[in-house]
Chain A
């Protein structure tokens, strides 16, 4: 089945450690995105990528890094510089950045203790 997969669903890390969240899609989409969601809040854009080997900062990129070495993969690293990393992280993809429809993964809930 085609889709977008995030793993793991739940992730726990100690404060000060970097952690990488996985996002893979087999939809052959050029554009991929990372959003962060805090309780009771909407989604905020962290990074997005229009094409392989290219990515752009979103509204809250500080403390995060990404790579786009392959079309199907867009991993997000939450670094120790991110002051409040505990959140629900969502990955999405679309055919291209201005597509009408984006497809979302099921999310990774990161808890930093």
Chain B
């Protein structure tokens, strides 16, 4: 699996958009970008994933650059409950037994009142 690079921490004002970047310059053509988040002392929660097109769901939007070497997770209106560690992961959806989710250290997003 390709490695990802994320800033260790970010701040965001409540009600504003939170833009979390992720670099994955060695991503392969069949690898997707996944985002999970982990609120303190809880299990991670899936947010969104994409291959090359931008994706949006009820939680967030995912913008992937044309060369696929980086992406940005956007929380359009951050709330205090969005304070969490956000993990960017790349992996291929096929691959069977060796295709595991590998978590790095993520970005701690602190939403400020």
Contacts and interface: CB of A to CB of B under 8 A. Distances in A.
Interface of A: 33, 35, 40-45, 48, 50, 56, 58, 88, 90-92, 97-107, 109
Interface residues of B, number: 24
A97 B104 contact: no
A104 B100 contact: no
A41 B8 CA distance: 11
28 contacts: A33-B100, A42-B104, A42-B105, A42-B106, A43-B44, A44-B103, A48-B97, A50-B96, A50-B97, A58-B100, A91-B43, A92-B43, A92-B101, A97-B96, A97-B99, A98-B93, A98-B94, A98-B96, A100-B49, A101-B46, A101-B49, A104-B43, A104-B44, A104-B45, A105-B43, A106-B42, A107-B43, A109-B41
B61 to A, nearest CB: 17
